[in-house]
Amino acid sequence: MPLTTDQQQEIEAARAAEGRTRRPVAPGLEALLYQAVPVLDHGFVRVIDYMGDDAAVVQAARVSYGRGTRAANEDRGLIRYLMRHRHSTPFEMCEIKFHVKLPIFIARQWIRHRTANVNEYSARYSILDREFYIPAPEQLAAQSTANRQGRGEVLAGEEAARVLDLLRGDAMQTYDHYAWMLNEDADGTPLDPGRQGLARELARMNLTLNTYTQWYWKTNLHNLFHFLALRSDTHAQYEIRVYADAMLEMVKAWVPACHEAFVDYRMGAATFSAGMLGVVRRLLAGEAVEQPGSGLSKREWRELMETLGRPVA
């Protein structure tokens, strides 16, 4: 469980305090607000705040004066149209803020998404907790042989056990040395008054990349969908995908019509080049197209056949 009792109580207090507002309210997300959804062994993601709902997207697309009186069905149709045709600006009108606890090596991947606002817990200023990510045995995968950037079979037996021992041992040892170098307790009191203690901004360099950090991460719905399309995808690294999957559920509770359109038109969607499209048309016309005469490279042909559910042997 990633939260201390104090933290859990702060969250409960925040959840208990309701107020009145004239702003749009998304009931589904209100129900989840502030709650930490566990991810990995010590991480979590939780929604801290949000702005807007499905109707706000519609309202922005129409630059209207009020929430309008259109049928919900018309709104859904417009949202689907906007998503299908990549009209992105109305989706930028909704905003969401997450609090995320995550391993540093995943934070480094995540931060590549530049169009977000971030406040990270500072190890220059504060002391990090003694928490590291250790993969569950079923996630201890070998390097893929087909893909330089992917995983293959799960490790087993001796090798798996040894890997887990090394990860755990090194993380604990480097953390203990970090703590020794700092020479201070949580209040900043020296542990050993005979020593000065290394500056926090230096000592942190001894930690391993699976140490947990945390941040506030705020973005708009359009940029969030871009993040989710890349990270809630089978090609994404498992350790970031589990965060994306949890966030996608929160999006569903927040803006159900946008979520539905996203799932229908972007998850599982495939882009065909003009050349691939030509092959599809020829196939539909009954022609027996083969790679050599297709105008596609072998690699493109293989990708196309996989997309069409006809994987090349």
Which are the catalytic amino acids?
231
Q: Of 63 and 313, which CB lies nearer to a second copy in the complex structure? A: 63
Query: Locate tokens 């979520």: which residue?
Result: 259
Pick from 263, 128, 272, 257: nearest CA to 204: 128
Q: Of 160 and 256, which CB lies nearer to a second copy in the complex structure? A: 160
Q: Exposure pattern of 35-68 as b/e (b: 16+ CB <10 Å)?
A: ebbebbebbbbbbeebbbbbbbbbbbbeeeeeee
- The single-letter code of the amino acid at 179 is A
Torsion of CA 50, 54, 60, 62, to 10 degrees: -170
Q: Of 182 and 242, which CB lies nearer to a second copy in the complex structure? A: 182
Q: Has 235 been labeled as part of a binding site? A: no
Q: Has 232 been labeled as part of a binding site? A: no
Q: Has 243 been labeled as part of a binding site? A: no
Q: Has 72 been labeled as part of a binding site? A: no
Q: How far is the CB of 249 from a second copy (least distance, A)?
A: 18
Q: How far is the CB of 61 from a second copy (least distance, A)?
A: 7
Q: Of 214 and 246, which CB lies nearer to a second copy in the complex structure? A: 214
Q: How far is the CB of 292 from a second copy (least distance, A)?
A: 18
Q: Of 51 and 256, which CB lies nearer to a second copy in the complex structure? A: 51
Question: What is the bridge-based pairing of β-strands 151-154 and 43-51?
Answer: unpaired
Q: Has 222 been labeled as part of a binding site? A: yes
Q: Has 124 been labeled as part of a binding site? A: yes
Backbone angles phi, psi at 158, to 5 degrees: -50, -50
In residues, how long is the chain? Answer: 313
Question: What is the chain's Cα-based Rg?
Answer: 24
Pick from 115, 175, 128, 151: nearest CA to 239: 151
Q: Has 231 been labeled as part of a binding site? A: yes
Provide CB contacts within 8 A for 217, sequence distance 6+. 97, 98, 99, 100, 110, 116, 117, 118
Q: How far is the CB of 266 from a second copy (least distance, A)?
A: 8
Reading the block at residue 168, the tokens are 């755990």
Longest dimension (CA), the chain: 85
Q: How far is the CB of 107 from a second copy (least distance, A)?
A: 8
Question: How far apart are the C-alpha atoms of 105 and 119, rounded to whole Å?
Answer: 17
For the annotated binding site for FAD, the residues are 89, 112-114, 120, 220-222, 226
For the annotated binding site, the residues are 89, 109-114, 120-124, 204, 220-222, 226, 231
For the annotated binding site for dUMP, the residues are 109-112, 120-124, 204, 231
